[in-house]
């Protein structure tokens, strides 16, 4: 019983075999997935997936890389979709200082707007954070994100940053990097995260776990992530799967 809390099954990398990829996930014990719609192109395809498969849910938001492309009506569009029964979070939203596509001030504005919307609608948020740990924590605090909480997607920060996020009511989600031999920090942080705040994900088709690193990731590989997390936590795969699935169901308010 596994829950892939962050995947992009609508990505073009799956256009040739999407159905097979979904079936492989089910065969690997993945019972639920949250697909992420993060801009004008992927929000409609995410909604289509969620409406097609009863075990796929949707998160909708505006990615920081695309922040510069966000128009005035897009926030209202996201708000309108949040009333859909399959939409379980606003995201992925956040900051990305790695790809130089949207100025920082625009990323900050779009992030603050979406946190405000989440608070207004009482929806959890899914945070993307790349090379922006200090500013992410600062904005989450200033915008009172603790009122709704959410998920720190593919967490890559220090234990100090993790503690700040946990204090604000966030869950920490881990993916393929915890299987990398040189990924010391994510493993050390995961070891300290309280079990009731731990989630797993693939971020497929990206961040493929070892031994498939360098190839396309897919939701079935969340089992590999679960096995690595279970080893770090000193649990069986079954225990880790049950706990993280329960955490995800509660965090996303899925009955």
Mean pLDDT of the chain: 97
**Average pLDDT of the residues in 138-154:** 98
Render pLDDT for 77-98 as a digit per residue (tens, 0 to 9). Answer: 999 999 999 999 999 999 999 9
The predicted structure's pLDDT at residue 255: 85
The predicted structure's pLDDT at residue 6: 98
Render pLDDT for 209-230 as a digit per residue (tens, 0 to 9). Answer: 999 999 999 999 999 999 999 9
Q: How confident is the model at residue 146 (pLDDT cuts 50, 70, 90)?
A: very high
Q: How confident is the model at residue 243 (pLDDT cuts 50, 70, 90)?
A: very high
Residue owning tokens 């731990």: 198
The percent of residues above 90 in pLDDT, for the chain, comes to 99
The predicted structure's pLDDT at residue 100: 81
The predicted structure's pLDDT at residue 23: 98
Render pLDDT for 14-29 as a digit per residue (tens, 0 to 9). Answer: 999 999 999 999 999 9
User: Which tokens go with 237?
Assistant: 């795969």
The predicted structure's pLDDT at residue 22: 98
Angle at 76 between CA 72 and CA 81, to 5 degrees: 140
How far, in Å, CA of 127 to CA of 141, rounded?
13
- pTM, two decimals, is 0.97
- On the question of pLDDT at 166 being above 90, the answer is yes
Q: Which residues are CB-neighbours of 122 under 8 A, at least 6 positions away?
A: 148
Tell me the sheet residues that pair with 174.
200
The predicted structure's pLDDT at residue 70: 97
How far, in Å, CA of 20 to CA of 24, rounded?
6
**Average pLDDT of the residues in 165-190:** 97
Q: Which residues are CB-neighbours of 92 under 8 A, at least 6 positions away?
A: 6, 36, 38, 59, 61, 63, 126, 127, 128, 153
- On the question of pLDDT at 207 being above 90, the answer is yes
Render pLDDT for 47-74 as a digit per residue (tens, 0 to 9). Answer: 999 999 999 999 999 999 999 999 989 9
The predicted structure's pLDDT at residue 52: 98
**Average pLDDT of the residues in 234-244:** 98
């Amino acid at each position: 019983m596994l829950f892939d809390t962050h995947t992009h099954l609508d990505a073009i990398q799956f256009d040739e075999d999407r159905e097979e990829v979904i079936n492989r996930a089910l065969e690997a014990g993945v019972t639920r997935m949250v697909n992420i719609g993060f801009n004008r192109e992927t929000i409609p395809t995410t909604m289509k997936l969620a409406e097609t498969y009863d075990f796929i849910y949707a998160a909708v938001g505006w990615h920081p890389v695309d922040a510069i492309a966000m128009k005035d009506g897009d926030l209202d569009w996201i708000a309108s979709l949040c009333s859909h029964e399959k939409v379980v979070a606003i995201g992925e939203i956040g900051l990305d200082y790695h790809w130089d596509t949207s100025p920082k001030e625009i990323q900050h504005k779009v992030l603050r707007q979406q946190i405000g919307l989440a608070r207004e609608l009482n929806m959890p948020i899914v945070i993307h954070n790349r090379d922006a740990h200090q500013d992410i924590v600062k904005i989450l605090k200033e915008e009172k994100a603790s009122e709704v909480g959410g998920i720190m997607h593919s967490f890559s920060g220090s234990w100090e940053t993790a503690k700040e996020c946990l204090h604000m009511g966030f869950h920490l989600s881990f993916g393929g990097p915890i299987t990398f031999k040189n990924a010391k920090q994510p493993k050390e942080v995961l070891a300290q995260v309280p079990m009731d705040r731990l989630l797993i994900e693939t971020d497929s088709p990206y961040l493929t776990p070892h031994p498939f690193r360098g190839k396309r990731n897919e939701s079935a590989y969340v089992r590999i992530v679960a096995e690595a997390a279970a080893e770090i936590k000193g649990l069986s795969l079954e225990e880790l799967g049950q706990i993280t699935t329960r955490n995800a169901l509660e965090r996303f308010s899925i009955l």
